[in-house]
Amino acid sequence: MIRENLARVREEIRRAAEGCGRDPADIKLVAVSKKKSVAEIKEAVQCGQITFGENYIQEAVAKIDQLDPQLQWHFIGHLQSNKARNAARCFHLVETVDRIKIARALDRHAAELDRILNILVQVNIGREPQKSGVAPEKTEELLRQITTLPNLRLLGLMATPPYSRDAEASRPWFRALKNLGDQLKPLDLFADPAKVELSMGMSGDFQVAIEEGATMVRVGTAIFGPRIQ
Ligand SMILES: *Cc1c(COP(=O)(O)O)cnc(C)c1O
């Protein structure tokens, strides 16, 4: 099942990219494996998947230790300072940096581990009170503070728009994140001045996110099936 699902999602990514004149190779598929077993992840690895997303540090660390060290792990959950060391140690990219305190903790642990940690800044693009993420108008200030931290490499922005069953409802939010990235790009705050990574789009709306400029899509259910809570 995972094999067929992955093939279908890859095909849909290709179709969405080509439909809007983009190169499918510019879009990274992050297979979101939270609440899924090592066996299920291995099945996806056998189909060539190497990038996985996890929301919970303890769950992720237990699984990462049992899997091929070549795999790339993205942290996409809410990050607490007391978990920052494991996040800095185990993940290739932390997508959910939304406050300077957590950025400083990650920077300090990355320095101790003698590594440079890739990060994205999570933006609360829909200004939802219950959601993590920096407010859009405060993003520039946070980025300026992050550029002073030598062991973090800021690659771009991440967002999760307000939930809707209608994928089209996400489009204005995806467009808003892309516009924010375009506004911030010339300010020399991102590690690569030529590229701002945009992590946006999930199982229900990744095609729309690709049309609006996503460079990473985070897809769980459409690959691994529903999560049993
Ligand atoms: C769970 C999760 C996903 C994947 O959601 P699906 O709808 O299962 O594709 C993507 N991003 C974040 C931040 C998540 O928490």
Per-residue pLDDT, averaged over 213-224, amounts to: 98
For the Cβ of 179 lying below 6 angstroms from any atom of ligand 1, the answer is no
Per-residue pLDDT, averaged over 190-218, amounts to: 97
CA 191 – CA 150 distance, rounded (Å)? 11
Q: What pLDDT sits at residue 6?
A: 98
Ligand 1 center to 128 CA (angstroms):
17
pLDDT level of residue 155 (50, 70, 90 thresholds): very high
Cβ pair 119, 99 in contact under 8 A: no
Residue with the smallest CA separation from ligand 1 atom 7 is 203
For the Cβ of 32 lying below 6 angstroms from any atom of ligand 1, the answer is yes
Average pLDDT value over all residues in the chain: 97
Residue 65 has pLDDT above 90, yes or no: yes
Share of the chain above pLDDT 70, in %: 100
Phi, psi for residue 112 in degrees, rounded to 5 = -60, -35
CA 13 – CA 33 distance, rounded (Å)? 18
For the Cβ of 219 lying below 6 angstroms from any atom of ligand 1, the answer is yes
Each residue's pLDDT tens digit, 171-194: 999 999 999 999 999 999 999 999
Each residue's pLDDT tens digit, 99-136: 999 999 999 999 999 999 999 999 999 999 999 999 99
Share of the chain above pLDDT 90, in %: 99
For the Cβ of 218 lying below 6 angstroms from any atom of ligand 1, the answer is yes
Residue 101 burial (CB count, 10 A): 10
Query: What is the number of residues in the chain?
Result: 229
pLDDT level of residue 229 (50, 70, 90 thresholds): low
For the Cβ of 36 lying below 6 angstroms from any atom of ligand 1, the answer is no
For 165-174, give one letter per residue: b (16+ CB within 10 A) or e: eebeebbebb
Residue 228 has pLDDT above 90, yes or no: no
For the Cβ of 223 lying below 6 angstroms from any atom of ligand 1, the answer is no
Ligand 1 center to 151 CA (angstroms):
27
CA 200 – CA 219 distance, rounded (Å)? 10
pTM: 0.97
Instruction: Give the atom of ligand 1 at the shortest distance from the alpha carbon of 158.
Output: 13
Q: Two tokens at 71? A: 């795999």
Instruction: Give the atom of ligand 1 at the shortest distance from the alpha carbon of 160.
Output: 13
